[in-house]
Amino acid sequence: MTELSELTTATAVIRDAPEPFEYVERGGVRGWMVAHPMTAYVARRFLLYVFTLWATITATFAFFRLIPGDPIGAFIQNLQTQHIYNVKASSAVVAHYRHIFGLDGSLLEQYGHFLRQLVIKRDLGPSLINYPDSAQVVIGRALPWTIGLLVLSTIIAWILGVLLGALAGWRRDNVFSEAVTYLSVAVSHIPFYFVGLILLFIFAFRLGSLPSGYAYDADLTAGWNLEFIGSVIHHGILPALSIVLVGLMGNMLGMRQQMITVLGEDYLNFAQAKGLHPWRVLRHYAMPNCYLPQITGLLISFGFIFNGNVLIEQLFNYPGVGHLLVAAIGQLDYNTVLGITNMSIFVVLTAVFAVDLLLPVLDPRIKYTR
């Protein structure tokens, strides 16, 4: 009888025990995060985004401050060369300009001044290469050229690459598909500037059909008129084409690989068994399941657009952000250089943050979890 009682008690204890994977309600912050997974996911990503932004901006500031050279001495020498300041600079004049450009004091004091200017006053300070204009004004003049050239080139390369890659993967046994694939493998590994050199040699120097540099004809005044817009398009063909060719091939390879991975899936076989036209199966069933990596790559590439394609802009003497960055580094214009690099860091990290938030929306298989 005792043994039966003990067995009954043990059975009751086992029955009342929680399941191994039963959810146990928690309190505090961790319990709230478990109860609100989407909000917790966004909060974690945002905090990581802010910390990464601060860390990269700080590292960039320290890196450029450690570059050897005297930017104020070069600036005063430039003023003397232009006959703006003909008297030998005194220590008071040098100290004045160091204070204006935020170069006086220790490195920590310069960092504090930099953060106050950037966060509180939202001012990058004056530009050495275009004094007394501020750095953001100088960057603002170059930014539309880079956006106009690289945004359009990136979008065109992405659209064409996705379409050609889908066709190459869908008809992968076709002779044309194999030839295009081999060509894309070769071209996608060629640097932009080398393709630009080839195009420049053929179309500008040999054939003389396209201009070799700058953004528009020198005898024109910038304005919203057909003559100026036509000149801008005419001058932008070669740099844009060099970016489109390489970007198109890279996007095509990525889309082709994604397309091959979905071929043979059950939902495609079911769509084909229903008698749907192959092109309808491609457009409405196969391609939508290949978009996610391509959209992710497009958003991240938009972030890198603000870096400017430095070598392309230098090659074609295009007045964009990349061309400005080279000039600012040559004259140790810290405010302009930090303005460009910090803008690039901000846009790239914001693009990555946006991708982190959009991926669960674009693909329901991805959850808002840690």
In a domain, 91, yes or no: no
68 domain-assigned: no
Closest CA to 149 of 249, 250, 251, 237: 237
352 in any annotated domain: yes
Q: Are 282 and 319 in contact (CB under 8 A)?
A: no
pLDDT bracket for residue 3 (50, 70, 90): very low
Return the structure tokens found at 338.
């930090």
Does the pLDDT of residue 332 top 60, yes or no?
A: yes
**pLDDT for 194 beyond 50:** yes
Domain enclosing residue 273, as ranges: 139-362
What are the backbone angles phi and psi of residue 112, rounded to the nearest 5°?
-65, -40
- pLDDT exceeds 50 at position 15: no
Residue 168 lies in a domain: yes
pLDDT confidence of 191, banded at 50, 70, 90? confident
Cis omega (within 30 of 0) on the bond before 132?
yes
- Residue 24 falls inside a structural domain: no
Name which of 192, 195, 216 is nearest 301 in CA terms. 192
User: Ranked by mean pLDDT, which of 46-50, 182-186, 314-318 comes out on top?
Assistant: 46-50
Judge whether 49 and 349 are in contact, CB under 8 Å.
Answer: yes
Q: How far apart are CA 130 and CA 337, in angstroms?
A: 13
Please give the torsion angle defined by the CA atoms of residues 266, 268, 269 and 275, in that order, rounded to the nearest 10 degrees. 150
More confident residue, 4 or 70: 70
Residue 45: helix, strand or coil by DSSP? helix
In a domain? residue 92: no
More confident residue, 6 or 109: 109
Burial class (CB in 10 A: 0-12, 13-18, 19+), 238: buried
Domain count for the chain, please give it: 1
Q: How many CB atoms lie within 10 A of CB 282?
A: 19
Question: In 17-134, which ranges are continuous DSSP H helix?
Answer: 28-35, 37-65, 71-81, 91-100, 107-115
* pLDDT of 55 higher than 70: yes
Query: What would the mean pLDDT of 103-126 be, rounded to a whole number?
Result: 81
Q: Supply the CATH number for residue 305's domain.
A: 1.10.3720.10
Span 208-262, pLDDT tens digits:
788 887 877 777 777 778 888 888 888 888 888 888 888 888 888 888 888 878 7
Asked if residues 345 and 60 have their Cβ atoms less than 8 Å apart, the reply is yes
Confidence of residue 88 (pLDDT cuts 50, 70, 90): low
* Mean pLDDT, all residues of the chain: 76
Query: What is the arithmetic mean of pLDDT over 56-60?
Result: 89
Residue 119 lies in a domain: no
Give 145's pLDDT tier (boundaries 50, 70, 90). confident
Which pLDDT score is estimated for 305?
66
Residue 51's pLDDT band, with cuts at 50, 70 and 90, is: very high
CA atoms within 13 A on the CB side of 77: 6
How much is the average pLDDT of 39-57?
86
Q: Look up residue 100 and give its two tokens.
A: 């204006």
276-298 residue pLDDT tens: 777 887 777 777 777 777 877 78
pLDDT of residue 78: 67
**Tens digit of each residue's pLDDT (9 = 90 or more) over 99-110:** 777 777 778 888
Query: Is the separation of the CB atoms in 241 and 199 below 8 Å?
Result: yes
Count Cβ atoms below 10 Å from residue 178 Cβ, excluding itself.
13
Distance between CA 251 and CA 40 in Å, rounded? 34
- Indicate if the pLDDT at residue 204 is higher than 50: yes
For residue 126, tell me if it sits in a domain: no
Tell me how far apart the alpha carbons of residues 114 and 339 are, in angstroms, rounded to a whole number: 11
